[in-house]
Structure 1
Amino acid sequence: MTITINRLLLRADTADGPYGTDIVFEKGLFILRVENTHGKSTCINSIAYALGMEMALGQVTSKPPFPPSLLKNIQNENGTEIPVISSYVMLEVSNDRGQTCTLKREILGADAESIITVYESDIESISNNGRNLFIHLEGDTSRELGFYYWLAEFISWDLPLVPNNSGRESPLYPVLLFPLFFVEQKKGWSSIQATTPFHLQIIQARKRAFEFLMDMDINETVNSKAKNKKLIDDVQEKWKQIYTQLESVAIRLDGKAQGVKDAPAATFDPFKLDILIEHQGNWQSLTSALIGLRADLTQHVKASQPQVAEQKNESLLSKIRELNNIVLQEDSKYEFLLNEISFVKNQITATEVRIENLVDDKRKYEDLKKVKSFSILDDLPVLNNECPTCGREYSDHNVEIECSDDLMTLEESLEFIKSQITTFKSVLNSYKMQLDIKKIELSKLEKQIDKHGADISRLKTELYSERNVLDEESLREKIRLENQITEYEKGLVAVGDFRSTFDILHNQYKHLISLRRNFPEHGFSQKDINKLDGLKTKVVKYLSEFGFSSFDPQLLEISQDTYLPTREGFDLGFDTSASDGIRIIWSYLISLFSLREIFKTNHPGILIFDEPRQQEANKFSFTGLLKGASDAAKSGQIIFATSEEEDVLKGALEGFKYTLHSYSPSEGKILRKLNKGA
């Protein structure tokens, strides 16, 4: 599971002929020494660009990370600027399975941003049978013609799916891993993984990258938790949709749903799910209301008989008087309901305000409890009721309280407030339920008043009609009862379906909640803990060798939350000098590299530093870095690009294995005119 850089070829074609450079790399510690502003970072960034990793160089776009010498104009040996016609980079790489491939990517060209050509050979043996692979487009990590898909297979990475901000899963893009083994000069030294791109919307991208590179078991736990949360969210959303449908059925029947809430709870009894219907002044279950309605229909049919005109007129007059009385009663009840609804609304508002005040009191008491818990404040006068000015004791209360008075402690007060919040929330729910019921009653009453008004008008019209017909009102009432019975029967069938659906969803919900509770609290296996302990040991060792002086390196810890070096829970960036901050990055990344020799990891066995001697780190520290890198690089490849003096490098590494590729200042810039045919 490694990748090795074998050769880098940069070329810019101009009217004056080709310009560029050709660098052959070696395994172990490889040092590219170039003067500042002479093309050192251009070469290092070319490696990242050829690997499709330019977005991990601290820039937010896939724009080629190169100076004008490869994009616009290049200077010849006389300092004259010559327009660049086209430019490209070729990178020869190999892996631990014996495969060698060459990657070619246009720098100035039509396909610069989206195509990388892969040749299954070294640079010298390239033919025209390269494969064009796309990059920075959907599917570049999951499809066979995607470059990241090819790169993952070449390195033997089995990239996992990780949670993203949309609630779904995305592949762990290789570009997120790059800052753990490549540090560019401008932004890369500000902190560990400083150039990790976040536009890919991966949740906790740095942590996911570390977990994969270290091959930690917690990555599977994180994925399982994310899948579990997504499934729970789906069940809750489905539940809410079904609940809305149930409410719609209840409203259509002028009733109210009971026995189920708009979100799944710990318990659910499907037989308690029902629709309450107001029948003959009482709220009854839908089944009871249906039985009562059928009885009403039977009684109405028996009482209905043909009538002669005189009998009909008397009956109509009696019915009109009866309806008028009913309307008067309903108008009175309507006003009463309006007043009750207004009262309940006021009670709801007052209760919500009370809950808000209690929650605020609870927060204040919790803050006071936190302050009281700080042992450093134990002897402060402000906590001992002692005036900080004169030293006299004072009381917390406006009225002096005798010692015999029974006062609640801070804990008791906090528990009392919590119980009050629970009580008032219960009261609030009760008021809201009352409000819903009264709104249903009001709506039903409005319909009844409208219906009775229409019935009175119709009866008056029939009263003055000369036709001797059957009681039309009786027939209308019969039809109304039959229609209502039909609606109740449909509602009863729907309730049965709702009970079955909610029961299935609740069983799914309970199963998912049970799985969630069984996830390990911190998610770390013993293997993960051993790896983090091993990382700490390595980092402490290298910090000591590199001259870290802000504090004793033995005090360092590796956070189980961020996986970064900390001291007493705080990021080391707040407790170190700038030069020691650089030493931390050196130590951390070299430790990740060298842990491959102890544990199974997914580290690709390569580490690249561009100008590692940042913040004027002293020469002794830099010497320690070079020696430590030489030892670590025995099982892989570490590339340093530096402008340090050649004599200093050779002196520091005397007796150590390394390869030095140095460009003398007298030779000019690293991008220079090539011989014809090169």
Structure 2
Amino acid sequence: MDAMDMVLEVQRIESAISLLEADWKSVHRSISDVASRAGILVRGIPKKPSTTWRREDLVGLEVDSGSGWISLDDEIDRLAIELDAQEVRPVASVGEAATEIEGALSRNQERVTQLSMVLASAIEDWEQANKQRQSLELRIEALEEDLRKHKDALLLQRLGSPDDLGTAYENCPTCGQSLPDGFEITDYPLAIEDNIAHLERELATFRSMALDAARTAEISQARVYRLREEMEGLRAAIRSQKDALVSPNSLPDSSLLAERLRLEEKVKALRSIRDSIESSIDELDSLAATWRRNKEELAALKGRDLTASDEAKISALRSSLVSQLDAYGFRSLVPQSIDISKKTYRPIHEGFDLGFDLSASDMIRVIWAYLFSFMEVSREFRGHHPQILIFDEPRQQEAARASFQQLLGRAAVNGAAGSQIIFATSEEEDDLASMLAGLPHQIRSIPRGEKLIKPRSL
């Protein structure tokens, strides 16, 4: 069919989109890992690409300044200004700066005490946020499982299941509590469709809550890492100040030099992390642009209608299928109600694939008709069918003799048109000969006990 090229192109684009989304997740995870270790919060990057995402409008890098979240650029500028001030400041001797060093040491020790309490509280908030996130994830898993069961129950109900599927639960589908035998159930339970709608609304709510909880946990984690970094810096400053106070008075103030070095390393590290994250965001921007192009191409392809030639082929396929079903004695459904899906090209009835609503023998008749329909349509429209069919015991499920005779007649017609049909059957030879009477055919009888395929003799 002409649509085959389109189907292959759709599959190629869908595969490319899946790869792009996987690459997006990998880069996003890398950004999150780098940022979290540095106490940086990355805002505005979604879990997967979207048509509306633009980095210049949405993405922001922030750090906790102690009084609130500020942009990473502002923090780097603040530290750079502080470093410049340190570099132009003359380095006094320990004797000259002793009073100043002692004052700074006292302030740092007080700050460590305060920061310890703040850090403990931040860690507790982080742990609580993680617990809430995990609890919501478990709830979502339970709701998804319950929704799946309800959809299965609805499908079985539509296929004619007589069981009362609405109350076939040992546990309450809403709260999870057990429903012991004899527990009084309301006489007016919700219909399965209503339960499905209710569960879908619950899932939407809990998924939104889970996103908020995950974001809260991410913010708490960044704050904890930032506080720990500040704590390490304070402790390093305290050590250098104590060392300076016990050193000879004539030596330069080593604590000031250590603070200058610490600031320089911190500015350099933050700039390096910013550049790394910006590079990864550039990669996300490129992935998003390619993803959007693929999505647009996919939408354009899926919006195309079948060509007139393909419509004619599907119509011919259905016509051949229906006429054969009628000839074979198909009775589970009215043959004229059978259609061909324009998506799967399989026989359908009222939008559903044929299956549970057919008897076993009628399912065999559908297979016969479907195989011959493809052969005939391909021959008529010069398709790629090899024009050969091989049946192994086609009269399965004790299909009626008249049906099998019609099948042989159809095979003879196709054989006369240039196709080849081979039957391997254990039917009685006399009975088979009577059904083949008047039909062009060749028959090869294999006596019982002999092998059809034998080793070659040398």
Q: TM-score when scaled to structure 1?
A: 0.53
User: Which residue number in structure 1 is paired with residue 16 of structure 2?
Assistant: 231
> Which 10-residue stretch deviates more, 540-549 or 527-536?
540-549
- 1:150-189 matches, cutoff 5 A: none
One-letter amino acid of the counterpart of residue 607, structure 1: L
Quick one: distance in 1 between partners of 2:207 and 2:374? 52
1:639 corresponds to which of 422, 433, 442: 422
- Which one has more relative contact order, counting CA pairs under 8 Å at least 6 apart? 1
How far apart are residue 657 of structure 1 and its match? Answer: 3.3
Quick one: distance in 1 between partners of 2:69 and 2:316? 69
Quick one: distance in 2 between partners of 1:669 and 1:363? 50
1:286 corresponds to which of 72, 75, 91: 72
User: Which residue number in structure 2 is paired with residue 452 of structure 1?
Assistant: 234
Q: Are residues 301 and 563 of structure 1, via their aligned partners in 2, closer, same or farther at CA, if it must alter by over 3 Å? A: closer
User: Which residue number in structure 1 is paired with residue 406 of structure 2?
Assistant: 624
Quick one: distance in 1 between partners of 2:89 and 2:198? 63
Contact 1:605 1:635 in 2 (8 A): no
Quick one: distance in 2 between partners of 1:235 and 1:485? 34
One-letter amino acid of the counterpart of residue 26, structure 2: Q
Quick one: distance in 1 between partners of 2:315 and 2:372? 15
Q: Are residues 545 and 283 of structure 1, via their aligned partners in 2, closer, same or farther at CA, if it must alter by over 3 Å? A: closer
Q: 3-state SS of the aligned residue for 2:264?
A: helix
Q: 3-state SS of the aligned residue for 2:302?
A: coil
User: Which residue number in structure 2 is paired with residue 12 of structure 1?
Assistant: none
User: Which residue number in structure 2 is paired with residue 509 of structure 1?
Assistant: 291
1:245 pairs with 2:30: yes
Contact 1:358 1:417 in 2 (8 A): yes
Quick one: distance in 1 between partners of 2:430 and 2:194? 73
Quick one: distance in 2 between partners of 1:372 and 1:583? 26
Q: 3-state SS of the aligned residue for 2:247?
A: coil
Quick one: distance in 2 between partners of 1:294 and 1:270? 26
Note the alpha carbon deviations across 1:91-127, whole angstroms, 9 max, x for none.
Answer: xxxxxxxxxxxxxxxxxxxxxxxxxxxxxxxxxxxxx
Contact 2:375 2:387 in 1 (8 A): yes
User: Which residue number in structure 2 is paired with residue 483 of structure 1?
Assistant: 265
Quick one: distance in 2 between partners of 1:353 and 1:560? 40
Q: Are residues 238 and 633 of structure 1, via their aligned partners in 2, closer, same or farther at CA, if it must alter by over 3 Å? A: same
User: Which residue number in structure 1 is paired with residue 4 of structure 2?
Assistant: 219
Contact 2:240 2:254 in 1 (8 A): no
One-letter amino acid of the counterpart of residue 370, structure 2: Y
Q: Are residues 608 and 452 of structure 1, via their aligned partners in 2, closer, same or farther at CA, if it must alter by over 3 Å? A: closer
1:276 pairs with 2:62: yes
- 1:523-538 matches, cutoff 5 A: 524-538=306-320
Contact 1:355 1:425 in 2 (8 A): yes
User: Which residue number in structure 2 is paired with residue 296 of structure 1?
Assistant: 82
Quick one: distance in 1 between partners of 2:98 and 2:455? 118
Structure 2's unaligned 5+ residue stretches are 168-185
Q: 3-state SS of the aligned residue for 2:70?
A: strand
Quick one: distance in 1 between partners of 2:195 and 2:411? 60
How far apart are residue 223 of structure 1 and its match? Answer: 1.8
Note the alpha carbon deviations across 1:630-651, whole angstroms, 9 max, x for none.
Answer: 2221122333455656665565
Q: 3-state SS of the aligned residue for 1:519?
A: helix
How far apart are residue 268 of structure 1 and its match? Answer: 2.0
Contact 1:550 1:577 in 2 (8 A): no
1:657 pairs with 2:440: yes
Quick one: distance in 2 between partners of 1:335 and 1:232? 44
User: Which residue number in structure 1 is paired with residue 103 of structure 2?
Assistant: 318
Q: 3-state SS of the aligned residue for 1:638?
A: strand
How far apart are residue 515 of structure 1 and its match? Answer: 1.8
- 1:61-76 matches, cutoff 5 A: none
> Which 10-residue stretch deviates more, 476-485 or 421-430?
421-430
Q: Are residues 340 and 486 of structure 1, via their aligned partners in 2, closer, same or farther at CA, if it must alter by over 3 Å? A: same
Write 1 or 2 for the structure with the bigger share of strand.
Answer: 1
Note the alpha carbon deviations across 1:484-522, whole angstroms, 9 max, x for none.
Answer: 222233334334433432221111011111122223369
Q: Are residues 370 and 463 of structure 1, via their aligned partners in 2, closer, same or farther at CA, if it must alter by over 3 Å? A: same
How far apart are residue 419 of structure 1 and its match? Answer: 6.5
> Which 10-residue stretch deviates more, 639-648 or 331-340?
639-648
Quick one: distance in 2 between partners of 1:252 and 1:626? 74
One-letter amino acid of the counterpart of residue 344, structure 1: A
Q: Are residues 460 and 662 of structure 1, via their aligned partners in 2, closer, same or farther at CA, if it must alter by over 3 Å? A: closer
2:121 corresponds to which of 330, 336, 341: 336
Contact 2:94 2:245 in 1 (8 A): no
Quick one: distance in 1 between partners of 2:103 and 2:359? 97
One-letter amino acid of the counterpart of residue 313, structure 1: A
Q: Are residues 322 and 223 of structure 1, via their aligned partners in 2, closer, same or farther at CA, if it must alter by over 3 Å? A: same
Q: Are residues 325 and 673 of structure 1, via their aligned partners in 2, closer, same or farther at CA, if it must alter by over 3 Å? A: closer
Quick one: distance in 1 between partners of 2:222 and 2:454? 86
Quick one: distance in 2 between partners of 1:552 and 1:355? 44
Q: Are residues 318 and 602 of structure 1, via their aligned partners in 2, closer, same or farther at CA, if it must alter by over 3 Å? A: same
1:266 pairs with 2:51: yes
Note the alpha carbon deviations across 1:442-466, whole angstroms, 9 max, x for none.
Answer: 2232333344334334433332333
Q: 3-state SS of the aligned residue for 1:444?
A: helix
Q: Are residues 602 and 373 of structure 1, via their aligned partners in 2, closer, same or farther at CA, if it must alter by over 3 Å? A: closer
How far apart are residue 285 of structure 1 and its match? Answer: 1.6
Q: Are residues 363 and 246 of structure 1, via their aligned partners in 2, closer, same or farther at CA, if it must alter by over 3 Å? A: closer
Quick one: distance in 1 between partners of 2:452 and 2:187? 79
- 1:23-172 matches, cutoff 5 A: none
Note the alpha carbon deviations across 1:535-592, whole angstroms, 9 max, x for none.
Answer: 23223333444455556543444455654545554636753353x5544444333333
Quick one: distance in 2 between partners of 1:577 and 1:280? 74
Quick one: distance in 2 between partners of 1:521 and 1:508? 20
Contact 1:556 1:565 in 2 (8 A): yes
Contact 2:339 2:349 in 1 (8 A): yes
Note the alpha carbon deviations across 1:222-263, whole angstroms, 9 max, x for none.
Answer: 322221122112212222232233334424543222232342
Contact 1:273 1:495 in 2 (8 A): no
Q: CA RMSD in A?
A: 4.6
Structure 1's unaligned 5+ residue stretches are 1-215, 383-393, 398-409
Q: Are residues 373 and 287 of structure 1, via their aligned partners in 2, closer, same or farther at CA, if it must alter by over 3 Å? A: same
How far apart are residue 533 of structure 1 and its match? Answer: 2.8
Quick one: distance in 2 between partners of 1:373 and 1:614? 28
One-letter amino acid of the counterpart of residue 329, structure 1: Q
Contact 1:290 1:485 in 2 (8 A): yes
Quick one: distance in 1 between partners of 2:326 and 2:125? 77
Q: Are residues 596 and 243 of structure 1, via their aligned partners in 2, closer, same or farther at CA, if it must alter by over 3 Å? A: closer
User: Which residue number in structure 1 is paired with residue 216 of structure 2?
Assistant: 434
Note the alpha carbon deviations across 1:170-197, whole angstroms, 9 max, x for none.
Answer: xxxxxxxxxxxxxxxxxxxxxxxxxxxx
Q: Are residues 411 and 605 of structure 1, via their aligned partners in 2, closer, same or farther at CA, if it must alter by over 3 Å? A: closer
Contact 1:240 1:262 in 2 (8 A): yes
User: Which residue number in structure 1 is paired with residue 359 of structure 2?
Assistant: 576
Note the alpha carbon deviations across 1:131-184, whole angstroms, 9 max, x for none.
Answer: xxxxxxxxxxxxxxxxxxxxxxxxxxxxxxxxxxxxxxxxxxxxxxxxxxxxxx
Alignment size in residue pairs:
432
How far apart are residue 296 of structure 1 and its match? Answer: 0.9
Write 1 or 2 for the structure with the bigger share of helix.
Answer: 2
User: Which residue number in structure 2 is paired with residue 594 of structure 1?
Assistant: 376
> Which 10-residue stretch deviates more, 365-374 or 445-454?
365-374
